[in-house]
Amino acid sequence: MERKTILILGGGIGGQAAANALALHFGGRHRVVLVDRQRKFAFAPSFLWLIVGKRNPRDIQRPLAALLRKGVELVQADILMIDPAKKEVKTSAGPMSFDYLIVSLGADLAPEKVPGFEETALNLYTLEGSSRIRESLETFSGRKVAVLIVSSPFKCPAAPYEAAFLIQDFLKTRGKPAEVSVFTPEPFPMPTAGQKVGEALKGLLESKGIRFYPNHKVTRIEPDGKNLVFENGKSEACDLLIGVPAHQAPKAVRDSGLANEAGWIPVDPGTLAAKHEGIYAIGDAAAVPIAGGKALPKAGIFAHIQAEVVAANILADIEGRASGARFDGGGWCAIEMGNGAAAFGSGDFYAEGGPAMTLHKPTRSWHWGKALFEKWWLSPFGPRREALRLALNLGAKAKGVSVSLRRL
Ligand SMILES: Cc1cc2nc3c(=O)[nH]c(=O)nc-3n(C[C@H](O)[C@H](O)[C@H](O)COP(=O)(O)OP(=O)(O)OC[C@H]3O[C@@H](n4cnc5c(N)ncnc54)[C@H](O)[C@@H]3O)c2cc1C
């Protein structure tokens, strides 16, 4: 059989999961090449624990090479241009051709889109920004903390709310209770998970005394970072500003000829195939349509499951057999609430009338489940899906909860 090259762009959550799944099956018979500009991988869900001193940067980073299975060729380079017609990718390490391409380049952050953000806000979505939040919270002596969501879409729709819960809890236990507020252009929290979940999360924010400001789209931040100015004509003062910057598709994705007007790559919701044969987009870089003209939220859990589906379909294609592997829209996340507890959202994002999600009440078990998930992801053996499936099935069964794990 002719030796094929599967080129994977991006070594984040989706890219690693795809590379490991393919290398496991191929055992060296075909080339699995992964390109990323970073040497080290940082597990973003752990930034939430980093900001309140429950993790150190070194706890949540690993050399990318250590997380890839034997048989994956790792190239450290900048991806400059994707040419789908020529089946070639230009990188800072030279051109690379492929038989199959998996684009998993994630979403770029664009803090410059709101005047004043770069200069004044602490960026929750980077390792460096999260470390600075931690330092600022240690010495915080003010009264008002603002968590600001600049625009949608942004990855992990729960993360800013988790930050608000954890910060409120952190300052309270330090004897420095603060007024924590979330400002967002969204009408209610996590609209991509449906109104029911949004209202439930809003209730949880209120129960903890966290103020919620929906329909607040920021237009600028005053130079000292102490005043937020919104499109609705209002302005709000704060002593500490924690922000989720605007997101945009990476330039190589926008310029690839694969992208839609917004810059993301439209794909088949089941197979993640892009419009050119042999090319797939997964995770944050993909635009996956769901009911009501909406798009699937950007989250690592989807990147991971989609990677497994794409790997299974490429494998079957190479071996000349049919594959029934399809991403079914199932997803879940544990939402940190502080005080060692987490809520748990799970359900079906492909349901006909829109996402059919349930938010389970906060418990310590969901928190520990999330911590175990982190350990599993960062372990030198991970991420092995067999172990995760077993652990989650056991956990869910113990709680009497049904979790869609069919694709894990
Ligand atoms: C604070 C925070 C908390 C989160 N919590 C959760 C959670 O609890 N659950 C959950 O499901 N999701 C969570 N997420 C979201 C999750 O991290 C992302 O959705 C996920 O990482 C997307 O995977 P991906 O493979 O699409 O992209 P990424 O993991 O972002 O990987 C993209 C990779 O591409 C590389 N890259 C990009 N452009 C180039 C280029 N031009 N050249 C070379 N390399 C390039 C990058 O270096 C990166 O390694 C969280 C995110 C944040 C920021």
pLDDT in tens, 249-260: 999 999 999 999
Ligand 1 binding pocket includes 301 (Cβ within 6 Å): yes
Ligand 1 binding pocket includes 60 (Cβ within 6 Å): no
Q: Cβ–Cβ contacts within 10 Å for residue 166, how many? A: 21
Q: Cβ–Cβ contacts within 10 Å for residue 206, how many? A: 11
Cis before 153 (ω within 30)? yes
**pLDDT at 282 > cutoff 70:** yes
Categorize the per-residue pLDDT at 384 as very low, low, confident or very high, splitting at 50, 70 and 90: low
Ligand 1 binding pocket includes 382 (Cβ within 6 Å): no
Sign of CA dihedral 249, 254, 259, 262: positive
Categorize the per-residue pLDDT at 293 as very low, low, confident or very high, splitting at 50, 70 and 90: confident
Nearest-CA residue for ligand 1 atom 31 is 12
Instruction: Give the global pTM.
Output: 0.94
Ligand 1 binding pocket includes 252 (Cβ within 6 Å): yes
Is the separation of the CB atoms in 281 and 272 below 8 Å? Answer: yes
pLDDT in tens, 315-342: 999 999 999 899 999 999 999 999 999 9
**pLDDT at 397 > cutoff 80:** no
Categorize the per-residue pLDDT at 408 as very low, low, confident or very high, splitting at 50, 70 and 90: very low
Q: Cβ–Cβ contacts within 10 Å for residue 223, how many? A: 11
Q: Which atom belonging to ligand 1 lies closest to the Cα atom of 14?
A: 25
Categorize the per-residue pLDDT at 123 as very low, low, confident or very high, splitting at 50, 70 and 90: very high
* Mean pLDDT across the chain: 93
Which of 51-60, 122-131, 377-386 is predicted with the least confidence, judged by mean pLDDT? 377-386
Ligand 1 binding pocket includes 367 (Cβ within 6 Å): no
- pLDDT for the residue numbered 27: 85
- pLDDT for the residue numbered 108: 98
Range list for CATH 3.50.50.60 in the chain? 5-107+249-326, 109-247
**pLDDT at 46 > cutoff 60:** yes
Query: CA-CA-CA-CA torsion for 179, 149, 112, 260, nearest 10 degrees?
Result: 180
Rounded distance from Cα 156 to ligand 1 centre (Å): 10
**pLDDT at 388 > cutoff 80:** no
**pLDDT at 118 > cutoff 60:** yes
Ligand 1 binding pocket includes 104 (Cβ within 6 Å): yes
Ligand 1 binding pocket includes 198 (Cβ within 6 Å): no
Task: Please report, as a single letter, which amino acid is at residue 313.
Answer: N
Nearest-CA residue for ligand 1 atom 5 is 45
Cis before 383 (ω within 30)? yes
Q: Which CATH superfamily is domain 5-107+249-326 in?
A: FAD/NAD(P)-binding domain (3.50.50.60)
Among the CATH numbers 3.30.390.50, 3.50.50.60, 3.30.1490.20, 3.90.1150.10, which is that of 109-247? Answer: 3.50.50.60
Rounded distance from Cα 303 to ligand 1 centre (Å): 9
Which of 179-183, 189-193, 397-401 is predicted with the least confidence, judged by mean pLDDT? 397-401
